[in-house]
């Protein structure tokens, strides 16, 4: 599967920072609930899962990648439109996420998408949860 060169280049450094976010404090040694929005082709969630990060990524728009990778910690994709209320985000319940990840979305999306992402994070992240954005 062909992926953008920038995504290929950045996957390692992004994984390193995600490990820092996920590896300490209240999260140490636990499997995490992570939702990535704007997953594109699915390179990042698949890379994180292959690297042994103990997370289940619910990432939308990556059905083919999820199926091809067959990784048990890569959850089936869900439809997420961050411009809509968090209630429409595939049944994600309040205070259930450890990490909410958005890579390369905010710089190309409408402002209402960024606002929706932050509003959703405020409701869906557990206490001490992290909204991780890049790009």
What is the full DSSP assignment across 47-113?
HHHHTT--EEEEESS-HHHHHHH--TTBPPP----TTS-GGGSTTPPTT-EEEEEEES-TTTS-HHH
Tens digits of per-residue pLDDT, 9-62? 888 898 888 878 776 545 555 567 888 888 766 777 777 777 766 555 555 556
| Tokens of residue 133, six digits | 């954005």
What was the pLDDT predicted at 18?
81
Q: Which domains does the chain have, with CATH numbers?
A: 5-134 (3.40.50.150)
Give the residue with greater pLDDT, 100 vs 69: 100
């Amino acid at each position: 599967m062909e992926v953008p060169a920038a995504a290929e280049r950045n996957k390692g450094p992004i994984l390193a920072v995600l490990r820092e976010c996920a590896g300490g404090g209240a999260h140490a040694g636990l499997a995490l609930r992570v939702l990535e929005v704007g997953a594109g082709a699915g390179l990042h969630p698949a890379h994180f899962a292959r690297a042994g990060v103990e997370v289940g990524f619910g990432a939308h728009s990556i059905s083919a990648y999820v199926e091809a990778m067959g990784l048990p910690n890569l959850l089936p994709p869900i439809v997420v439109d961050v411009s809509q209320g968090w209630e429409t985000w595939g049944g994600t319940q309040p205070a259930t996420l450890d990490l909410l990840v958005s890579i390369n979305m905010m710089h190309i999306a409408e402002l209402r998408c960024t606002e929706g992402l932050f509003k959703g994070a405020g409701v869906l992240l557990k206490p001490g949860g992290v909204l991780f954005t890049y790009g």
